[in-house]
Structure 1
Amino acid sequence: MFSSSAFLIGFRYWRARKANAFASFITLFAVSGIFLGVAALIVVTSVMNGLEGQLKERILGAVPQLVVENRDGFSDWQQAASMLKADRDVIGVTPSTSTQAMLQSSANIAAVQLNGVFPQTEAELAALTHTVYSSAFDALEPGSYRIILGTALASELDVAVGDTIRVLSGEGVVYSPLGPVPSQRRFVVAGLFQMGSMVDAQLAFVHYEDARRLMRKNPAGVDALRLYLDDPFKAETTGNRIPALLAGVASADALTVHDWRDSYGQRFGAVKMEKNMMSLMLSLIVAVAAFNIVSALVMMVVDKTTDVAVLMTQGLKRAEVMGIFVVQGSLNAVLGLVLGLAAGLLLALNLNTVLSAIGVSVLGGGQSLPVIVSGTQLGIIVLGTVIITLLATLYPALKASRVEPAQALRYE
């Protein structure tokens, strides 16, 4: 189909000035549609990638990514941790304990997820996982009953570093003649952290042993391990391998594995669905442009019927006739694709500069849009555009190949 003669003739037809002005307009409209569709796809998917990556860093960097609970407890948690670290996706393991708690200050009360941590371990893993960590964690010492709050939570409670708050745990409840009495202690605010996301109002950190005492559990006991992954989105597949990894130290029936999706899966699912829907809608622009290529080629086939008939009488095969018009339509698509790629990448990489220049602030407060250009997605956009436009050229090219020379040249 794509012989040298077919390519050369198709290229000459593509370069030649169209006798039909309307066909030229349709061709221009088709190229412009592909250009705009590809450019918009690159910009939108890059921004959505950036938002997803920012959400991933700000939320999944603070919350437990994967937690393994053992109903019977880990008698030797270091051994279990070394076995878990053998997995290719696990980069760190630390004892974990958490509880739903209420924080009460003189001004307000708020519900939080209270996490017990070992400051030294958190500091080591923070460099690998970009988890929330500040120097205030060093102030968490066993028995000191100090707590670290998110900035939004501290603002809600109207407290600052050095203030005292009351922490009431959802676990460790005792029953008295007056009814259930929750476990509670006074904690001193040792520091604040800020991730720039919803976790700033939902998380609080205390020392692991202090958290266990608050929950009326053995401070030295370990019944849950928190895993840090090289990619939090691998939590599901990694979790499925946990029972096999711990086969020697824990019964599979006693293990419970849960991950960040239990609490934040819906939020990430919404972002992913929004990204897919935006990509689908913008892909329709490319599809519409492909239909315009069909219209332009059909007009070209009508205009060039006599030329095609002459070429066929000189020995041009029907497959080569198809190649002529496939080349012509594909060159229009490639032109729009190249222009769209160049404009899309240029705009995506300089999006915040452009928005600042025209005085537009999408996020407000002087915040810039996060942009991540994915090479894989660029490849998908290019491949999808080429396939759609190539398919669009087949019908007009097939019609051209079915021209009967004797019929076409009867009145010439």
Structure 2
Amino acid sequence: MTPAPALFIGYRYWRSRKANAFASFITLFAVSGIFLGVTALILVSSVMNGLEDQLKQRILGAVPQLILQQEQGFEDWQSLREPILAVPGVRGVVPFAATQAMVQSPSNISAVQLQGIVPDAERQLSAVMSHSYADAFDALEPGEFRIILGSVLANQLDVAPGDTVRVLSGDGVVYSPLGPVPSQRKFVVAGVFQMGSPVDANSAFVHLADARRLMRRPAQVIDSLRLYLDDPFAVAELTPKLQDKLHSVGQEVSISDWRDSYGHLFSAVKMEKNMMSLMLSLIVAVAAFNIVSALVMMVVDKTTDVAVLRTQGLGTLAVMGIFMVQGSLNALLGLLLGLLVGTVMTFNINPILDTLGISVLGPGQPLPVVLQWSQLGLIVAGTVLLSLGATLYPALRAAGVQPATALRYE
């Protein structure tokens, strides 16, 4: 028998009223479970993607994503610009300096990552500049010794634009008879930036020339280059390509990236996202295996029908196809409903929460949502494969029905 009659019979069995009310309830439970599981999986995964993306923008948009260093300095870093930008995934390259420092105000002191930058070079690249108040970065001029602080750091130090703070650097320490003396200078607070992340509490920006003077190094020497990447998460694949490119032009550099400082944080977020997806996938798995119970009951109810069809020439694969079609249609119904409701809720989650009066991140802060179509395809493929696997045992049991035994007392 061709597959078409098997599909037709399976569809008729699926449409027909079930004689066993309990089997009908199990089927409804399975469809509802798949529907709720797929809906929750789409919604929660999208929210977790949004939170990860927001964290990536707010942290990795402010800290160095990838740094190239040479101990003797780059004699002509501009000549390396084109080879570096030729590497796919590199968005920009600018001169850079960084040091661990202490910032002291009249009322407090705090440790910071001090970054020396050239504002004009980073204006189209840095996310921090768009999150500063009153275009504070325009005030960074070489020799003026002005500093821009994160909002949390400014509050801790109790300073505002126009106040003076003392910056002490761990680089450029001078040893005297009284012991090591750190390099220090007074800086004027030129402004404040706010990224809405831990960066606000531990980062500060000064002009590159002022940072070099604070570190007691020649201001005109560039020993670090900061690279901006299209996707900071692709840094592991990009690093060897960058090394090969620089080696081809006779440059040997040491490379460090954001994972040294924030890799543990994003690893924790990734693990949490994976665990949430696994937990919600178990809902779909439980619902899919409820299909097994419903189909086994259906096989028992339809034993006589299967025996009659076998006597009329229905093959083993065709019998399996009948019950696989029936179980798959139940799973497909739950999957389609879950896709529809999950996608609609994902795109409208913030209006829904506002209507219910629920604030997850605090008043006035919308929940970030990023729906990845590749992830959606993975959910669909996983649900379909799991559901097909759940139909195999009942289908094999139906295919094992012996017509003579089943029809003995008919």
Q: TM-score scaled by structure 2?
A: 0.97
**1:258 aligns with one of 243, 247, 256:** 256
**1:379 aligns with one of 367, 377, 380:** 377
Which 5+ residue runs of structure 1 have no aligned equivalent?
none
Q: Give me the whole-angstrom Cα distance separating, in 2, the residues matched to 1:67 and 1:197.
A: 21
Deviations 1:29-74 (A, max 9, x none): 1001100110000011000000000000000000000001112211
Q: Give me the whole-angstrom Cα distance separating, in 2, the residues matched to 1:77 and 1:347.
A: 50
Deviations 1:93-122 (A, max 9, x none): 011100000000011101000000001001
Q: Give me the whole-angstrom Cα distance separating, in 2, the residues matched to 1:179 and 1:273.
A: 46
Q: Give me the whole-angstrom Cα distance separating, in 2, the residues matched to 1:250 and 1:236.
A: 22
CA contact (8 A) 2:137 2:191 kept: yes
Q: Give me the whole-angstrom Cα distance separating, in 2, the residues matched to 1:250 and 1:59.
A: 33
Task: Please provide the CA RMSD for this pair.
Answer: 1.2
Deviations 1:113-164 (A, max 9, x none): 00000010011324xxx45444211111110000111111111100000000
The Cα shift of 1:203 comes to 0.7
Identity of matched residues, %: 66
Q: Give me the whole-angstrom Cα distance separating, in 1, the residues matched to 2:185 and 2:87.
A: 39
Q: Secondary structure at the match of 1:125?
A: coil
The Cα shift of 1:242 comes to 2.6
Letter in 2 for 1:71: E
Aligned pairs, number:
407
Letter in 2 for 1:102: M
CA contact (8 A) 2:128 2:193 kept: no
Letter in 2 for 1:316: L
* More displaced 10-residue stretch of structure 1: 350-359 or 263-272: 350-359
Q: Give me the whole-angstrom Cα distance separating, in 1, the residues matched to 2:298 and 2:2.
A: 19
For 1:367, the equivalent position in structure 2 comes to 365
> CA, structure 1 residues 10+223, in 2 after alignment: closer, same or farther (shift >3 Å)?
same
Q: After TM superposition, where is structure 1 displaced by more than 6 Å over at least 4 residues in a row?
A: none
Letter in 2 for 1:277: M
Q: Secondary structure at the match of 2:222?
A: coil
CA contact (8 A) 1:107 1:158 kept: yes
Q: Secondary structure at the match of 2:247?
A: coil
CA contact (8 A) 2:50 2:368 kept: yes
CA contact (8 A) 1:61 1:132 kept: no
CA contact (8 A) 1:305 1:400 kept: yes
**1:341 aligns with one of 339, 352, 359:** 339
For 2:83, the equivalent position in structure 1 comes to 83
Letter in 2 for 1:292: N
* More displaced 10-residue stretch of structure 1: 365-374 or 392-401: 365-374
Q: Secondary structure at the match of 2:114?
A: strand
Deviations 1:215-243 (A, max 9, x none): 00000001111111111111122122232
The Cα shift of 1:249 comes to 5.4
Q: Give me the whole-angstrom Cα distance separating, in 2, the residues matched to 1:144 and 1:321.
A: 85
Q: Give me the whole-angstrom Cα distance separating, in 1, the residues matched to 2:22 and 2:49.
A: 40
Which 5+ residue runs of structure 2 have no aligned equivalent?
none
Q: Give me the whole-angstrom Cα distance separating, in 1, the residues matched to 2:176 and 2:341.
A: 71
Equivalent residues in 2 for 1:228-247 (5 A)?
A: 228-247=228-247
> CA, structure 1 residues 373+332, in 2 after alignment: closer, same or farther (shift >3 Å)?
same
Letter in 2 for 1:113: Q
The Cα shift of 1:251 comes to 4.8
Q: TM-score scaled by structure 1?
A: 0.97
Letter in 1 for 2:217: K
For 2:114, the equivalent position in structure 1 comes to 114
CA contact (8 A) 1:161 1:192 kept: yes
Q: Secondary structure at the match of 2:64?
A: coil
**1:279 aligns with one of 256, 267, 277:** 277
* More displaced 10-residue stretch of structure 1: 388-397 or 351-360: 351-360
For 2:317, the equivalent position in structure 1 comes to 319
Q: Give me the whole-angstrom Cα distance separating, in 2, the residues matched to 1:298 and 1:75.
A: 77
The Cα shift of 1:6 comes to 0.5
Q: Secondary structure at the match of 1:223?
A: strand
CA contact (8 A) 1:70 1:250 kept: no
